[in-house]
Copies of this chain bind each other. A is one copy, B any other.
Amino acid sequence: MPLMRSWVSSANSAETPFPLNNLPYGVFSVGGDEPRCGVAIGEMILDMAAVEEAGLITLDEVPCFELPFWNEVMDLGPEVWARLRARLTDLLAEGAAETEQVAPHLVPQTEAQLHMPFLVSEFTDFYAGKHHATNVGTMFRGAENALPPNWLHIPIGYNGRASSVVVSGTAIRRPWGQIKGADHALPRFAPSERFDIELELGAIVGVPSQGPISVAQADANIFGYVLLNDWSARDIQAWEYQPLGPFQSKATATSISPWIVAAAALEPFRCAAPHREVALLPHLQDDGPMHYDIPLSVTLNSETIAQTNARELYYSAAQQLAHHTTSGCPMRVGDLLGSGTISGPERGNRGSLLELSWGGKEPLALANGETRSFIEDGDTLGLHGAAQGDGFQIGFGDCMGTVLPALEDPYKGQTHG
């Protein structure tokens, strides 16, 4: 598929993340206006609330775009999603009939503030990257026991905290937590000293289900994807995670990129799953290419420190979602599934500082002469990703976060005994 040309000229560049082929969904505001739904096109945002009010797009009897989230549209189901994309393409394509009616509703991205694009119903975080699981397992349990026994059979995951999901650009406060050093007999309560990122892809459930669904059905139920940074306090995690899994170590914040890239926009970039070392049970087998070829990278204060690709995942989002439903777990519109950290085979492909610095034993040398084992106060971490088409890209928009120092006294001003 080549670049689809738009009358919005900035959308026709090979460098824009948002050509007509993409049309990602976000929520924006300008000045003190109420946040509302928008679609990115080149350097502009199409104001969907205005376009709907003008009668240029009608999805339902009630307004779908004036609320500051895309859940209302997701609720309408896959046929309406397809109709929306077709209509947006009609309105924005080169030679469109309604150019003059649409043009007044374009807002420059530089003037807009971006908000959370959807209401997160619940957040689940998987562990579907084999290089990451192997690296972490090797550090924690030794090379022989690196992969847990279940790992090659199910996409293991844990429930995360939806209330902590924030949009790119939100500052992240270094957390306090209970930490026990290897050399200490007792734990202490202190700011995390091993605060980290995790480069992930997030999948958004757009169709509810109750009861086990097939991988094919799960694939069809996914509305779109975001980049996702699962901020992780490794020292808190090491102390708390046995036997119930990560909890407070992952609850400070999870950042997502501001634009939901529709699954439909990623269709040309589907690719096959990696080699299966052990055959999966039938209910987890994929029957088509359900992974995506999306180059990804991590920056620390603007310097690229890792490059990898979403196709490195061992389990697709569809397989994760299918597994999620096996117990009868009800899935709802707006559920967010993190893939787990996406690392590649080489050191430069690792999607966390834990892996990049090998647990702090091999600090990362930065171009400015500094080194990093984990995040330092003031550091800005970024995730970046764009599928590479023939003369165009399907970009996600960056997922950025700056880490602020821990609170001095977290209990200041509170009732104590």
> Which residues of A approach B to under 8 Å, CB–CB?
121-122, 127, 148-150, 153-154, 156-164, 173, 175-178, 180, 186-189, 211-214, 216-217, 220, 233, 236, 239-249, 251-253, 278, 281-283, 285-288, 323-324, 326-332, 335, 407, 410-411, 414-417
Complex contact A329–B417 (CB within 8 A): no
Shortest Cβ distance from A417 into B: residue: B287
Choose one: B180, B244, B410; the contact of A127 (CB below 8 Å).
B244
Choose one: B180, B287, B326; the contact of A178 (CB below 8 Å).
B326
A288 touching B417 in the complex, CB below 8 Å, given contacts A163-B122, A212-B411, A240-B150: yes
Give the interface SS of chain A, mostly helix, strand, loop or mixed.
loop
Contacts of A253 in B (CB 8 A): 328
- Cα(A245)–Cα(B148), bound, Å: 12
Q: A154-B240, A243-B245 are in contact. List 16 more A-B contacts (CB 8 A).
A: A122-B163, A149-B242, A150-B178, A153-B178, A153-B187, A154-B178, A159-B247, A163-B330, A163-B332, A176-B326, A187-B281, A189-B282, A214-B411, A217-B414, A252-B328, A286-B417
A281 touching B189 in the complex, CB below 8 Å, given contacts A127-B244, A288-B417: yes
Contacts of A213 in B (CB 8 A): 411, 414
Shortest Cβ distance from A278 into B: residue: B186
Choose one: B157, B220, B239, B326; the contact of A150 (CB below 8 Å).
B239
A selection of 12 A-B contacts at a CB cut-off of 8 Å is A149-B180, A154-B187, A163-B329, A164-B329, A175-B327, A178-B326, A186-B278, A189-B281, A211-B410, A217-B415, A241-B243, A286-B417
Q: How far is the CB of A247 from chain B (nearest CB, A)?
A: 6
Contacts of A245 in B (CB 8 A): 158, 241, 243-246
Q: How far is the CB of A151 from chain B (nearest CB, A)?
A: 10
Choose one: B150, B153, B178, B247; the contact of A158 (CB below 8 Å).
B247
Which 8 A-B pairs rank lowest in CB-CB distance, beginning with the nearest? A287-B417, A245-B245, A251-B329, A159-B159, A212-B410, A248-B327, A158-B244, A163-B330
- Cα(A173)–Cα(B253), bound, Å: 34
- Cα(A111)–Cα(B236), bound, Å: 51
Q: How far is the CB of A244 from chain B (nearest CB, A)?
A: 4
Contacts of A332 in B (CB 8 A): 163
Complex contact A327–B244 (CB within 8 A): no
A242 touching B150 in the complex, CB below 8 Å, given contacts A176-B212, A220-B415: yes
Q: How far is the CB of A185 from chain B (nearest CB, A)?
A: 10
- Cα(A189)–Cα(B285), bound, Å: 13
Contacts of A410 in B (CB 8 A): 211-212, 283, 326
Shortest Cβ distance from A411 into B: residue: B214
A214 touching B157 in the complex, CB below 8 Å, given contacts A163-B121, A176-B326: no
Shortest Cβ distance from A192 into B: residue: B327
Contacts of A148 in B (CB 8 A): 242-243
Contacts of A247 in B (CB 8 A): 156-159
Contacts of A251 in B (CB 8 A): 324, 327-329
- Cα(A189)–Cα(B416), bound, Å: 51
Complex contact B415–A214 (CB within 8 A): yes
Choose one: B173, B214, B236, B248; the contact of A324 (CB below 8 Å).
B248
Shortest Cβ distance from A154 into B: residue: B178
Shortest Cβ distance from A127 into B: residue: B244
Complex contact B163–A160 (CB within 8 A): no
